[in-house]
Amino acid sequence: MQLSINNLGKQYRRDFWGLKNFSLDIKAGILGLLGPNGAGKSTFMRMLATITKPTEGTISWNGTDVVKSPDTLRAILGYLPQDFGVYPNLNAIEFLEYMAAIKGLDSASTKKRIDELIQVVNLVEAAKRPLGGYSGGMKQRVGIAQALLNDPRLLIVDEPTVGLDPEERVRFRNLLSDLSGERIVILSTHIVSDVEATATHIALVNKGQLLRESAPENLLKELDGKVWEWTISSDDLTTLKQKHIVSGTIRRSDGVQVRVVSNDQPEAGARSVSPNWKMPISISSEVMRDHNSSHLSFSTCRFLRAGTPL
């Protein structure tokens, strides 16, 4: 089982490429696509889901050209887009029955499958309520259920934990882990904890390009001896960000604890620390943030590409 992407690109305007020179070989397991909003993750996933045609490059599933023969992939595909719509007058069961019919699933086994999925996504008590009255998180759970209706060999989920409470987020991560043994799961997110907890490989994406792809532990090893931590005053934080790659901050009573990525000791008093995925960071345009305090600065990913001997 292999999904191969070779020099994939999507041009939207004469001078703008949403994705460019994207090449990746994906095997069974969970691939986490990690990048800030606007990085090109959704463009990539829409092409994999055969919704958007690439401008250039190829996608192949077990040797078959998916661009030329999209039905080959659609038969084994489960897809949850970032913007998932529902019919507000249908309840969850009716909606899933409708989606099963669209997918051409056998009606005899559909009811059992829907009952199982309603349990999996924790919607038993709300299953017969109209979807128009669901919260955003509940609608997202219905979207997860429809993506799993056909027991897909390739599961593509775009920002699947948006709107989920912490308990449901953990439930979904566990579900992905259980599903990943004999299929390919591609998870797109800007929330580091989602991929850190589940992914067997991580692809770092920014500005339409693949920066790196590796196992999570290997990405961290590349920063050994290059992560520094110390405490500064709040007034010095802006200046520090202009001079160094700041991957994380924690505000404390005695100032701001900062974590910086640098080949050499960045400031007197900075101590070398082990890299990890759990350093809280301040909100900025170059940073990926998770409300559950599991974070990694995207500037660190850029550092891997531009400044670290690999």
Q: DSSP secondary structure string, 251-304?
A: EETTEEEEEEE-SS--STT-EE----S-------TTEE--TTS--EEHHHHHHH
| H or E element, residue 13 | strand 2-13
| pLDDT, tens only, 42-85 | 999 999 999 999 999 999 999 999 999 999 999 999 999 988 88
Chain centroid to CA 51: how far? 19
Using an 8 Å Cβ cutoff, are 74 and 81 in contact? no
Q: Where are the beta strands (DSSP E) in 110-163?
A: 154-158
Task: Report, as an integer, the average pLDDT of 200-221.
Answer: 91
Q: Which two tokens stand for residue 287?
A: 């940073």
- In the chain, CATH 3.40.50.300 sits at 2-219
Q: What's the CATH code, domain 2-219? A: 3.40.50.300
Using an 8 Å Cβ cutoff, are 125 and 132 in contact? no
| pLDDT, tens only, 234-270 | 999 999 999 998 888 899 999 999 999 999 999 999 9
Global pTM reads 0.82
Q: Which residues contact 111 (CB under 8 A, 6 or more apart)?
A: 97
